[in-house]
Amino acid sequence: MELFLDTAQVDEIREARDWGVLDGVTTNPSHVAASGRPFLEVVREICALVDGPVSAEVTATLADEMMEQGRLLSRVAPNVVVKVPATREGIKAIRQFSDEGISTNATLVFTPAQALLAAKAGATYVSPFVGRLDAIQHHGMELVEQIRRIHDNYSFPTKLLVAAVRHPDHVVEAALIGADAATLRLDVLRSLYEHPLVNIGLQQFLDDWARIPNAFRRYE
Ligand code: E4P
């Protein structure tokens, strides 16, 4: 399963990259605005930091303008994935990007029908926003299961990328369902290895170990 960081903060990306488990990055217009940096500059820097795919989102709403923005983004670095909202215009653009060999991430996916269209149009990734569905009392993971089945039924090569992830259980459920990827904020990525029993257990081992004199002295 690919794990992506969902941010445009390069210091966060460096930190996660140094753990050795980061496969890529997803950004969105809100992330870029929060970074306070010029869009293309920050995308270029992120692409240089990570080997894997880096999603950068178009902000046009018409297919032709999405194409212009997406072509520009795809020239920033070879690992750019053009992120396109799964609207009618977005689906049209995804089809054209796919015909031009430009990778895409269909974003703002809230229904299985959107995911089906995005896959048919040739999207590289499709991103269901599970946390936003949960927040309005829908079941984000049900959508992930439905998309998994649809993709498998028709052997679509489109990768299922779980987005708007809020907690470790979302990641585990996504993995159990067989999602290809999940994109997480740094705090959620950190929480994957945090557990109170780990801290308690480690402290106990260290306390016991401290009672052994010269535990690492060379055996002779
Ligand atoms: C996905 O690629 C999006 O950037 C992201 O997951 C949006 O999630 P949010 O609901 O945390 O903004």
pLDDT tens, residue by residue, 116-136:
999 999 999 999 999 999 999
CATH number of the domain to which 186 belongs: 3.20.20.70
Query: Is ligand 1 within 6 A of the CB of residue 131?
Result: yes
Question: Per-residue confidence at 218, pLDDT binned at 50, 70, 90?
Answer: low
Which residue has a Cα nearest atom 10 of ligand 1? 164
Round the CA-based radius of gyration of the chain to a whole number and report it: 20
Phi, psi of 217 (to 5 degrees): -65, 150
CA distance linking residue 198 with residue 77, whole number of Å: 40
In a domain, 158, yes or no: yes
Q: How far is the CA of 91 from the centre of ligand 1 (A)?
A: 19
Q: What's the average model confidence in pLDDT over 23-47?
A: 97
Could you tell me whether strands 24-26 and 181-184 are parallel, antiparallel, or unpaired per DSSP bridges? unpaired
Whether 213 has a pLDDT exceeding 90, the answer reads no
In a domain, 112, yes or no: yes
The total number of structural domains in the chain stands at: 1
Q: Does residue 159 have an active-site annotation? A: no
Is the separation of the CB atoms in 161 and 126 below 8 Å?
yes
Using alpha carbons, select from 209, 188, 194, 207 the residue that is nearest to residue 4.
188
Q: Which domain holds residue 31?
A: 2-194
The Cβ of residue 106 has, within 10 Å, a number of other Cβ atoms equal to 29
Mean pLDDT score of the chain, rounded to an integer? 96
Which structure tokens are listed for 106? 């269909």
Q: What pLDDT score was predicted for residue 215?
A: 79
pTM of the model: 0.94
In a domain, 216, yes or no: no
- Residue in 3, 5, 26 to alter for ligand 1 test, most ligand atoms within 8 A of Cβ: 26
26 DSSP 8-state letter: E
Whether 220 has a pLDDT exceeding 80, the answer reads no
In a domain, 38, yes or no: yes
- Residue in 127, 143, 166 to alter for ligand 1 test, most ligand atoms within 8 A of Cβ: 127
Q: What pLDDT score was predicted for residue 216?
A: 78
Question: Per-residue confidence at 217, pLDDT binned at 50, 70, 90?
Answer: confident
In a domain, 199, yes or no: no
**Which element (helix H / strand E) includes 143?**
helix 140-154
Q: How far is the CA of 217 from the centre of ligand 1 (A)?
A: 51
Q: What pLDDT score was predicted for residue 157?
A: 98
Taking only the tens place, the pLDDT of each residue in 142-193 is 999 999 999 999 999 999 999 999 999 999 999 999 999 999 999 999 999 8
Q: How far is the CA of 146 from the centre of ligand 1 (A)?
A: 20
In a domain, 200, yes or no: no
In a domain, 174, yes or no: yes
In a domain, 11, yes or no: yes
The ipTM value here is 0.97
Whether 67 has a pLDDT exceeding 70, the answer reads yes
Question: Per-residue confidence at 219, pLDDT binned at 50, 70, 90?
Answer: low
Query: Is ligand 1 within 6 A of the CB of residue 166?
Result: no
